[in-house]
Amino acid sequence: MQKAESVTHIAIIMDGNGRWAQKRLLPRSAGHRKGAEKVKEIAKEADRLGVKFLTLYAFSTENWQRPKEEVDTLMGLLREYLKSDLKELHENNVRIRFIGERDMLSADIRQSMAALERQTAKNGGLTLCFAISYGSRQEIIQAVRKAAVLVKNGDISESDIDIKSFSAMLYTKDIPEPDILIRTGGEKRISNYLLWQIAYTELFFSDTPWPDFEAKELEAVIAGFNTRERRYGKVQA
């Protein structure tokens, strides 16, 4: 087994649900359902491998522009998921977190999210973070606004804004930067995901659509990561 000793945080863009379904002549919603089922399996595997944080892109700010029917399906799945599947993860000592613009979500979903975060706050296993109604540019803009207000009120000076203090104004303030970003589904782009946080993250692109992504592929990514040399812009000593 590949132990993820050097891997603290994995972020995933769970892409390819729609195409997975279309290929099987199923509605796109069937792909999303299958994709939601996959989350539990991969979270358990990440935990087993010793990964501490897993951040999953479940719904982007831009996804609000999909046809209403598809948005409703995704919100329905999320609602269901928050009520049932995540309970099982709680029993496995998983801590649940959410990042994104909560104001856009319906009140019952927001309440379930807050309740889950409260219930699982003391769990010491994997932190499973869902990016929901999340957009990285929007996240950066809200941080810039926060900083501007602090400067305007005289709470901090301009020169107090640096990488560390700015990072603390993002939704991910208490989450380390990802070591690995995986995008499934064959596309090679970042799609407004964790733009600030992935400055030195190792990127992996898999052709496998998310519903078919398996634990062994996660292990293979970690093995690949362990062969990479991370220099953070420096040269080797």
Write the CA distances from 30 to 17, 56, 184, 197, integer angstroms.
8, 19, 17, 32
85 is catalytic: no
Q: Does 17 bind ligand FPP (CB under 6 A)?
A: yes
Using CA atoms, how far apart are residues 235 and 82, in angstroms rounded to an integer? 45
Footprint (CB under 6 A) of ligand FPP, residues 130-149: 130
Active site residue 17: no
Q: List the 180-183 sheet strands across, edge first.
A: 95-99, 127-134, 53-60, 9-13, 180-183, 202-205
Cβ-based nearer residue to ligand FPP, 27 or 161 = 27
Tell me whether residue 2 or residue 138 sits nearer to ligand FPP (CB atom): 138
Contacts of 135 (CB under 8 A, 6+ apart): 60, 61, 62, 100, 101, 192
- To ligand FPP, the closest distance from the beta carbon of 210 in angstroms equals 6
Query: Is 126 one of the binding residues for ligand FPP (CB under 6 A)?
Result: no
Region 159-188 residues binding ligand FPP, contact defined as CB under 6 A: 185
Instruction: Identify residues 29-88 at the interface with ligand FPP (CB under 6 A).
Output: 32, 35-36, 39, 58-59, 63, 74, 77-78, 81
3-state helix, strand, coil in the chain (%, to 5): 50, 15, 40
Applying CB under 6 A, which residues contact ligand FPP?
Answer: 14-19, 32, 35-36, 39, 58-59, 63, 74, 77-78, 81, 130, 185, 210
Which residues does the annotation mark as catalytic?
A: 15, 63
